[in-house]
Amino acid sequence: MSNCIANELLKKGKTVLYQTAPVLLETIINDKMTKNKTKMQRDFYKNVLECDLLIIDDLGTEFLNSMLLSELFIIINTRILNLNSKVTKTIISTNLSIEEIFKKYEERIGSRIAGFYDIYYFFGDDLRIKNKGR
């Protein structure tokens, strides 16, 4: 579903960033720790905050520490409050229940996800496994 939404927005000229939670957060931390950043590293964080659509895939699969938790909060909060001076949307996919999100990510992140995001549950066969049998 996220891929379909991303493709339609790309066709309309919108900017879309699609990344798994572990890679997204680790990239941000690594870039922040690098002293002599490349232009791509300098632009990455700005793009995370300002792209028209950010898709964070597989939230809950990352190894959390206080730095990653802080970065996740900044990303979600900035995009919700439009602190980047433009309307931005975010899709978060996860296998976690809302209760598990509150436990794993604390009140600040859990309340923002529960309060500002529409939550949809998808059920059915895993298409990766189903298509493998073809």
For 76-94, the pLDDT digits (tens) are 999 998 866 788 999 999 9
Of the two residues 126 and 27, the one the predictor is more confident about is 27
* Contact in structure between 84 and 122 (CB atoms under 8 Å): no
Q: Provide the residue range defining the domain that includes 103.
A: 2-132
pLDDT score at 133: 64
* Contact in structure between 24 and 60 (CB atoms under 8 Å): no
Residue 23 is part of a domain; what is its CATH number? 3.40.50.300
Predicted TM-score (pTM) of this structure: 0.88
The half-sphere exposure of 129 on its side-chain side, counting CA atoms within 13 A, is 3
- Enter the tokens of residue 60: 């809950």
pLDDT score at 42: 76
Q: Is the pLDDT of residue 132 over 70?
A: yes
Mean pLDDT across 113-122: 92
Average pLDDT, the chain: 90
Number of domains present in the structure of the chain: 1
pLDDT score at 90: 96
Closest residue by Cα to residue 10 from 57, 59, 51, 58: 51
For 8-65, the pLDDT digits (tens) are 999 999 999 999 999 999 999 988 888 777 777 778 988 999 999 999 999 999 999 9
Helices marked H in 12-126: 21-33, 39-50, 66-81, 98-116
Q: Is the pLDDT of residue 72 over 90?
A: yes
- Long-range CB contacts for residues 120-128, cutoff 8 Å, separation at least 24: 122/1
